[in-house]
Homo-oligomer: A and B are copies of this chain.
Amino acid sequence: MGFDSSLPIYQQIIDAYKKSLIRGEIQTGDKILSQREYALKARINPNTVQRAYREMEMIKMVETLRGQGTYICATDIMLEQFKEEMAGQVLNYFISEMKSLGFDDHEIKNRLNTQLEGGNK
């Protein structure tokens, strides 16, 4: 429940839900936190949560029943898309971090291979 500064908070909320879906921690049909609960737990403004929830609703990732709450309604196809999207983000972030540390493409690949073989925790 901590937010870093690179992406807008509402986007981080959405990404976190997408990741939870991919990992199977939540699934279609599940009720998610109410906007107020989320805002309280994350100590952010309810309006910020609402923007995230509204955008998730617009892409039909969740559906909202007035007075009842918000429910996941993502299809398997959407899950695949989210997985691609999140993987792309993770990859780009990784590559840009490595490059900013001074590694070129070749070195990045080598380091990854070494790390994967050497066994990372």
Contacts and interface: CB of A to CB of B under 8 A. Distances in A.
Contacts of A41: none
A103 B120 contact: no
Contacts of A116: 95, 105, 108-109
Copies per complex?
4
Interface in A6-51: 6, 19, 22-23
The residue among A91, A108, A113, A121 with the most chain B CB atoms within 10 A of its own CB is: A91
Interface residues of A, number: 37
A1 interface: yes
Contacts of A83: 101-102
A94 B94 contact: yes
A86 interface: yes
B102 A108 contact: no
The residue among A4, A58, A90 with the most chain B CB atoms within 10 A of its own CB is: A90
A73 to B, nearest CB: 19
Contact of A2 (B6, B87, B121): B6
A90 B98 contact: yes
Nearest to A86: B101
